[in-house]
Amino acid sequence: MNVFMYMNQYQRKVSLEREIIQLLRQRDKQGVTLLYQNYAGALFGIISRIIQSQEIAEEVLQDVFLKIWDNFDKYDAEKGRLYTWLSQLTRNLALDKVRSASYRKKAITDGFDPALSRSEQLAESLYMEDSGLRKVVQSLDKNYSELIDYAYFKGYAQSEIAKELGIPLGTVKTRMRSAIKQLRRILQHELMILVLMILWC
């Protein structure tokens, strides 16, 4: 893709974003339609990696849109782009749902472990597919590689890692940041995000 095409696409994206923001600020439902058309898939993807039940994932998507609609005045363009805010909101709602009683109930009836994120299910296959990445991770300092191993390959949350390794959560966080720092030196930007996305969930 040459520079002009990229710029064109970029500009289109920016103006679309601006339009959606304006419409939602005015509480114009056309804004919701545009929002849905452009972002629903990405947001549903985020939800689906956290929520194991399709039914509940759909519920959460509905909740997400309702929350966006109700709280759009809270969106601060200073802090970041539209998608950043949308994805953070989505992730938080999904995680709240996971911790809810209804989700635990559903887990019993549908027969899955509510403590696991769906990405942990994926981790198994990822483990097989990303052996290249694994090698890279193993070349990191032992502390860091261990953390990433737990987070990426086993899908542990940071708090769970802290518990597992018997270290304070703060330490886990600090080390995680350093690990990422090291990784950055090794990986390209996009791949970095890939890792982060897995760690995130």
Partner 1 sequence: MDINKYKESGILELFVLGSLSPEEEQQVLQHLKQYPALRAELEKIEEAMEAYGQANAITPPPNMEASILQQLDPVEGQVPPKPEESLPGSGRRINFNVLLTGIAVAASLALLTWGIFQNTQLKQQNTQIQALEDNIREMETACALETQQKEKAELLLALYKDPQTRPIELSGTDNAPEAIAGVLWNPNQQKTYLDIANLPAVPSNKQYQLWAIVDGTPVDMGVFDLVIGTNGDTFIEVPFIEEPQAFAITLEDQGGSQQPTLEEMVVYGAV
Give residues in contact with partner 1 (CB under 8 A): 23, 26-29, 32-33, 36, 40-46, 48-49, 58, 61-62, 65-66, 69-70, 78-81, 83-84, 87-88, 91-92, 177-178, 180-181, 184-185, 189-190, 192-194, 196-197, 200
Mention every residue, 6+ apart, whose C-beta is less than 8 A from residue 64.
43, 47, 89, 90, 93
Minimum Å distance from CB 136 to partner 1? 16
Q: How far is the CB of 189 from partner 1 (least distance, A)?
A: 6
Query: Which lies closer to partner 1 via its Cβ, residue 15 or residue 33?
Result: 33
In the complex, minimum distance from the CB of residue 115 to partner 1, in angstroms, rounded to a whole number = 20
Q: Which is nearer to partner 1, 108 or 148 (CB)?
A: 148
How far apart are CB 70 and partner 1 at their closest, in Å? 7
* Nearer CB in complex with partner 1: 48/53: 48
- Which of 135/189 has CB closer to partner 1? 189
The smaller minimum CB distance to partner 1, of residues 104 and 159, is found at: 159
Q: In angstroms, what is the minimal distance from the CB of 15 to partner 1?
A: 15
